Amino acid sequence: MRLVLANPNTTGSMTERMASAASQVAADGVEIVPLTSPYGPPSIEGFYDEVFAVPPMIEAIRDLGGPVDGIVVGCFDDTGVHAVRAMTDAPVIGICQAALQTASVLGNGFSVVTTLDRSVPALEKIISDYGFDRHCRRVRAADVPVLELEDSNSGARNAIEGEIERALEHDRAEVVVLGCAGMVDLSVELSRAFGVPVVEGVTAAVKILEGLATMGLKTSRRRGYAPPRSKVYGGAFSGFSPE
């Protein structure tokens, strides 16, 4: 089984950390193929960055080659997930949807802890779009820029822990969701520290895709995820034309 882990930003070290976490939980015989976008924003922090992250990610996936059994989009905004689903009949899931689905079966309500306050409206919207607004107690921002998660001396972890404490006490959350791919390596330790499930979406997405691929289920090609019509895209981005 071959699962692609696509990072929509250009920070290769974040891709490596996600791929390491994914490989630790992947079943025997599952190959994790990491992809980092060749250009675009180094981090995705809100609506503006999302727009510029989609075309390079599509290009990277398009140029990969070889059979694919599933694709993880490694950004908690689920950047470009719907466009990628139109590219392939392999199952595609973003780490936000994977984390929300996982959290919803582990407790009666969850709170999301993300990075900057500017990201909160985007996450509130996607949570509502996925139908999890009844389960989500609150989206909390730790006021940590995404790339500070790469620096162990930045104080980012302390800020995240503070928001988890407030989520458990004030939101009455029973589960905590880490709302950024850069938090991928924190969930196990934080689960132990707080005594509740702390979910991150990369590993959850890998296990969901393994299950879908094992069952032989693929993305529907009817209507919304039908392959894009062949057309010429002007400018630098060359688009995706189905075979």
pLDDT higher than 80, residue 153:
no
Question: Which tens digit of pLDDT belongs to each residue from 211-221?
Answer: 999 999 999 99
Same-domain pairing of 118 and 48: no
pLDDT the model gives residue 231: 81
Q: Which of 104, 47, 102 is nearest to 79 (CA)?
A: 47
Residue 228: which residues within 8 A CB-CB, separation 6 or more? 86, 87, 239, 240, 241, 242
Q: What is the CA radius of gyration of the chain?
A: 17
pLDDT the model gives residue 194: 97
Helices 201-214 and 12-25, packing angle to 10 deg: 50
Same-domain pairing of 32 and 12: yes
Residue at 103 is within a domain: no
Write down the pTM of the prediction: 0.92
Domain final residue pick, 160, 182, 199: 199
Distance CA 139, CA 14 (A): 23
Q: Which band of pLDDT confidence, cut at 50, 70 and 90, is reported for residue 232?
A: confident
Residue at 232 is within a domain: no
Please give the structure tokens belonging to residue 147.
Answer: 């790339």
Same-domain pairing of 150 and 92: no
- What is the CATH number for 16? 3.40.50.12500
Same-domain pairing of 164 and 180: yes
Q: How many domains does the chain have?
A: 2
Residue 35: which residues within 8 A CB-CB, separation 6 or more? 4, 5, 6, 7, 15, 57, 60, 61, 64
Stronger pLDDT, 39 or 243, i.e. the higher one: 39
Domain with 73, as residue range(s), is 2-96+203-225
Question: Which tens digit of pLDDT belongs to each residue from 57-114?
Answer: 999 999 998 899 999 999 999 999 999 999 999 999 999 999 999 999 999 999 999 9
